[in-house]
């Protein structure tokens, strides 16, 4: 089937549907239930790759990357087809040792209606809320920063989808992506994370990437200079 009929399937939108050989994939539900070692290892890996000794910086970037993957794997197919995979935490497997973007494998074939309510229930409540709790167990990061990461990740997924839709002549997918993102961002936990609730989104908190050696400012950073 042509990719334009399914939605983007590379980068942050990619989702394995066949069990990979090797690796250390495990259901995200285990992390959310308190199995902390995989997240600790992931943050250690990110810190080493970024060359930072500030653990909270690495934790924020690790969180932002996984949040982007979770939003993307739901929003992409929902915008393109009107449905998205059932990304329940017990079926979605994660390998914290792989490079960015985070490697995800879905053990299941069920799909859900691609409405904002179902995406919010699956991604925001089913993943981002317990993921934030897991990050808090590793060390101190403010809820404002973590929800800012979530809002930024969602807006970033939208920008990629709008670009993909233009390339594949799918104005219908772009329109659905914009509408879904606007509705998802209009939630008490996300509403004040940045504005406008579209591709021009600019966040009101910082992911701390500017503190990485040789790092800079993200495209939607709250700061105008480092």
Cα separation, 93 vs 15, in Å, equals: 10
> What are residue 135's DSSP bridge partners?
none
What's the confidence (pLDDT) of residue 129?
98
Q: What DSSP designation does 99 have?
A: P
Cα separation, 44 vs 106, in Å, equals: 25
> What are residue 72's DSSP bridge partners?
none
CA distances from 89 to 57, 120, 135 (A): 25, 14, 16
What's the confidence (pLDDT) of residue 1?
38
Domain boundaries, the chain: 3-211
Q: Which two tokens stand for residue 49?
A: 């790759």
Q: What DSSP designation does 222 have?
A: S
Spell out where the chain has E strands: 26-27, 83-85, 92-95, 103-106, 111-113, 194-195, 202-203
Per-residue pLDDT of the chain (226 residues; tens, 9 = 90+): 355 556 787 788 989 888 888 778 999 999 999 999 999 999 999 999 999 999 999 999 999 999 999 999 999 999 999 999 999 999 999 999 887 778 899 998 899 999 999 999 999 999 999 999 999 999 999 999 999 999 999 999 999 999 999 999 999 999 999 999 999 999 999 999 999 999 999 999 999 999 999 888 898 888 876 6
> What are residue 103's DSSP bridge partners?
95
């Amino acid at each position: 089937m042509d990719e334009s009929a399914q939605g983007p399937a590379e980068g942050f939108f990619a989702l394995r549907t066949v069990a990979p050989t090797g690796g250390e994939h495990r259901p995200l539900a285990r992390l959310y239930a308190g199995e902390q070692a995989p997240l600790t290892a992931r943050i250690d890996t990110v810190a080493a790759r970024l060359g930072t000794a500030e653990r909270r910086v690495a934790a924020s970037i690790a969180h932002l990357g996984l949040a982007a993957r979770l939003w993307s794997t739901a929003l992409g197919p929902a915008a393109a087809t009107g449905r998205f995979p059932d990304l329940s935490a017990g079926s979605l497997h994660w390998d914290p040792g792989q490079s960015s973007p985070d490697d995800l494998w879905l053990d299941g074939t069920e799909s859900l209606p691609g409405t904002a309510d179902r995406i919010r229930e699956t991604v925001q409540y089913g993943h981002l809320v317990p993921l934030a709790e897991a990050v808090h167990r590793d060390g101190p990061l403010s809820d404002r920063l973590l929800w800012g990461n979530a809002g930024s990740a969602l807006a970033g997924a939208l920008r990629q989808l709008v670009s993909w839709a233009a390339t594949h002549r799918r104005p219908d997918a772009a329109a659905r992506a914009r509408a879904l993102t606007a509705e998802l961002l209009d939630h008490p936990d996300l509403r004040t994370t940045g504005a406008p609730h579209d591709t021009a989104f600019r966040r009101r908190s910082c992911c701390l990437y500017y503190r990485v050696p040789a790092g800079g400012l993200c495209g939607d950073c709250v700061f105008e200079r480092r």
